[in-house]
Amino acid sequence: MVKKDKNTKLFLHLKKWLEKAVLDYSMIEEGDKVLIGVSGGADSFALLDLLDSIMIFVPKFSFIAVNIDMGFDPDYKAYQELERYFQENRYDYVMEKTDIGPLSHSDFNRKNPCFLCSRLRRKRIFEIADEKGCNKIAFAHHRDDIIETLLINMFYGREISTMMPNQSIFGGKLHIIRPLAYLREELVKKYSREQEFPAVKNSCPSSENSKRIYVKKLLNELERDNPDIRHNLFTAMSHVKPDYLPTWPKK
């Protein structure tokens, strides 16, 4: 499947806010080599497509698309479809089959499969970035992901934190960037439908029963009474008042 023409208002809107996020947080610099994580989900296809577009203000950079197959699809049908998409669009890419998913859901780790799965997948992505000489890793986390992570960390991690648009790791050797940080999930998914990206089903048994799904449903409920709930939460992260946050004595 070759990409469709991109002359739509939605494309221009997403491109504008992607470039703004990249510039606001200095995500990409001249000569960067970016590893783009492509899970096969709608968000990652949109990120790859947008970063492959002509940039107006963003410095020149190169990229490689990377997919880590989690091992839930024994026939690798989704894997094959994704590889065909990479090849038809002439992307430089790495695809790797693993057993990370089944391992993370095995008997010895049933209590927290998502944590181990994410940890092992990221470890391999970091290794590939090093092997391919990439200094930036781009993930397709959007504004809704950032909001949901804030609540997940508060509800379950007992801390006020979330995803950073530009996060330095390994002493600055590598940066994780999130160019979709300003974009709403519904618009990203709408763009994926508009462009008719191949649908790669998420076969993870935890995909419909995770903490993130719970928080997403909770926000949807709250949004019925207050349509601005997500916008308010996102804006609140830049309006922190430390003087009005208690510091409890350590026990």
* Token pair listed for 156: 């379950």
- Give pLDDT, residue 75: 64
**What local confidence, expressed as pLDDT, does residue 249 receive?**
83
Quote the pLDDT of residue 165.
97
CA distances 211 to 2, 108, 120, 243, Å, are 35, 20, 19, 30
All domains of the chain in start order, with CATH: 9-240 (3.40.50.620)
Residue 208 is predicted with a pLDDT of 67
Q: Coil, helix or strand for 184?
A: coil
What pLDDT is stored for residue 251 in this prediction?
A: 65
Residues 105-135: pLDDT tens digits?
666 666 676 777 778 888 999 999 999 999 9
Which segments in the chain show pLDDT lower than 70? 1-5, 71-72, 74-77, 100-111, 113, 202-209, 251
Residue 5 CB-half CA count within 13 A: 2
User: Roughly what angle, to the nearest 10 degrees, separates helices 143-156 and 211-225?
Assistant: 110
Q: What number of other Cβ atoms are within 10 A of residue 172's Cβ?
A: 8
CB-based contacts of 172, cutoff 8 Å, min separation 6: none
